Amino acid sequence: MRGCMPLPRWVGLCRSAHTRVGRSRPCSGWLAGATSHQTHSSSSALEQSPGASDQLLQAGLHVVGTPIGNLQDLSPRALHVLRSVERILCEDTRHTAHLCSYFDVRTPLESLHEHNESAKCAKIVRELLTGIPLALVSDAGLPAVSDPGGRLIAAAVEAGIPIIPVPGPSALLTAAVASGFDTSRMLFVGFLPAKQQARCKELEQIQGLPATVVAFVSPHALRAVLSDMCAVLGPDRRAMLGREMTKLHEQFLRGSLRELEQLHDPAQGARAPRGEYTLVLAPPEVGGAGGSEQGLTDEDVRSALAVAMRAGHTRSSAAASVSQSLRVPKKRSYRLSLEVGDSQPGQGGGQA
C-alpha cells in the first residue's frame, strides 16, 4: 500500500533508550543483533533464523515485503536479503533510506517508480542476466500490489530470470482478516477509477458477486467512493474501513455503507479524511445482489438515480440499473427518476 506514514514516536524512543556501542542496539526479541551490520558467517540471531543462511544470496530478483507501518513487522529473512543484495530498487529512495537507516542496512538504493519503471526495465534486466541479486521494494507492503514493480517483474519473467518472493506485510490481507467477513472467496480491485462514470461501471460489475471485495481508497476520494457505493451497491451493504493499520493509532470503522458515508460527511462535523484507507465490502446478503427494498427511502433511491444519471445513464437505463442494484420495483425506480433533474453528459464525472 502506498503512503506509509512517518514512524511512530515510540519507535524513536525505543532506539534512543539503548546503550550505544558503535551503533544502536535493537529493542528486544527477534530484533536482537539485527540492527548492527553483519557478515554472512556471523552467528547472530538473524543468521540462525529460518530462511537466513551464511551462503551468498541466490541470483535473481528478490521481491521483498516491507512494513506497512510498524517496523517490527520486517522479517529476519527480508532484512537478510536487503543486506545481501547488490542494490535495492525502491519506490522512494528517501522512504527506503529511513527504513535502511533504522536497521543499519548499507546496500545502495536506486529509485524505481511509476514514472521511470518502463524506461529502466531493460537496463535492470540486463544486469540481472549477469547473475547478480537485486531486491525490489515499495514504500509499504508488497511491490506490484497497487504499487510499482509489476512491469519489471513481468520483464524478468520473460527473460527467464528467477523471481524470489520474500513475503511480508500486506494492507490487503491485514484488512480482510480484521473485517470478520468471509474470506474464502475474495476480489481485490485496487484503487477504483478516479472518474465517476468509470467507477460506477466497475461497481456495477461487482455488485452481485458472492465474494468479499477489498479496495484501496485515497483520502481525497473517500466520500465520493462511499457515495457511489451506496448508490450502486445499496446503502445497507456491510463494510469496514481500515486506516493507520499496524500503527499506534490503528482504526477499524465498521457499519453499513450509509453509516460510513455519514461518518465522513462534513455537514455532520466530520474532519477531512487523512491517510489512505483499505475498504472491505461484505458479500451481498443471501437473496439480494445489492441492497434490499426494505428500509430504503425514496430519497435513497433518488440519490442512487442521480449518481447513475451523472455517470452517463439515460433516465430509463438509470431506473433499470438502480432497480436491479437496490432490489426495488422497476415502476418505483422509474417514477422516482422523473423527480431527478436531467444531467448533462460528463457532469459529475470529474476526479473524486
The three cell numbers locating residue 213: 471485495
Q: What is the largest CA-CA distance in the chain?
A: 78
Q: What pLDDT sits at residue 290?
A: 45
Task: Report which of 294, 317, 319 is spatially closest to residue 304, judged by C-alpha positions.
Answer: 319
Higher pLDDT, 15 or 342: 342
Strand partners, 195: 351
pLDDT at residue 339 is higher than 70: yes
Average pLDDT over residues 124-137: 97
pLDDT-based confidence at residue 259 (cuts at 50, 70, 90):
very high
Mean pLDDT, the chain, integer: 81
- What the chain holds in terms of domains, given with CATH numbers, is 9-169 (3.40.1010.10), 173-337 (3.30.950.10)
The torsion region of residue 327 among left (phi > 0), alpha (psi -120 to 50) and beta comes to left
Q: Mean pLDDT throughout 269-283? A: 91
Between residues 244 and 328, the one the model is more confident about: 244
What does the pLDDT average to over 130-151?
96
- Output the pTM of the full model: 0.70
Choose the weakest-confidence range: 46-50, 129-133, 221-225.
46-50
Asked whether residue 292 carries a pLDDT value surpassing 90, the answer given is no
pLDDT tens per residue across span 80-112: 999 999 999 999 999 999 999 999 999 999 999
Across 215-237, average pLDDT: 94
Bridge partners of residue 63, in order along the sequence: 136, 165
Q: Residue 208: pLDDT band by 50, 70, 90 thresholds?
A: confident
- Whether 44 shows a pLDDT value over 60: the answer reads no
Q: Using the predicted structure, report yes or no on whether residue 242 has a pLDDT greater than 70.
A: yes
Pairing of strands 212-217, 109-111: unpaired
SS (H, E, C) the chain: CCCCCCCCHHHHHHHHCCCEECEECCCCHHHCCCCCCCCCCCCCHHHHCCCCCCCCCCCEEEEECECCCCHHHCCHHHHHHHHHCCEEEECCHHHHHHHHHHHCCCCCEEECCCCCHHHHHHHHHHHHHCCCEEEEECCCECCCCCCCCHHHHHHHHHCCCCEEEECCCCHHHHHHHHHCCCCCCEEEEEECCCEHHHHHHHHHHHCCCCCEEEEEECHHHHHHHHHHHHHHHCCCCEEEEEECCCCCCCEEEEEEHHHHHHHCCHHHCCCCCCCCEEEEECCCCCCCCCCCCCCCCHHHHHHHHHHHHHCCCCHHHHHHHHHHHHCCCHHHHHHHHCCCCCCCCCCCCCEC
Span 151-175, average pLDDT: 97
Partners of 88 in beta bridges = 109, 135
Q: Are strands 238-243 and 87-90 parallel, antiparallel or unpaired?
A: unpaired
The whole-angstrom separation of Cα 48 and Cα 38 is 12
* Banded pLDDT at 128 (limits 50, 70, 90): very high
Q: Is the pLDDT of residue 319 over 90?
A: no
Q: How far apart are CA 267 and CA 314, in angstroms?
A: 30
pLDDT value of residue 165: 98
Q: pLDDT digits over 1-28, tens only? A: 444 444 443 333 333 333 222 333 333 3
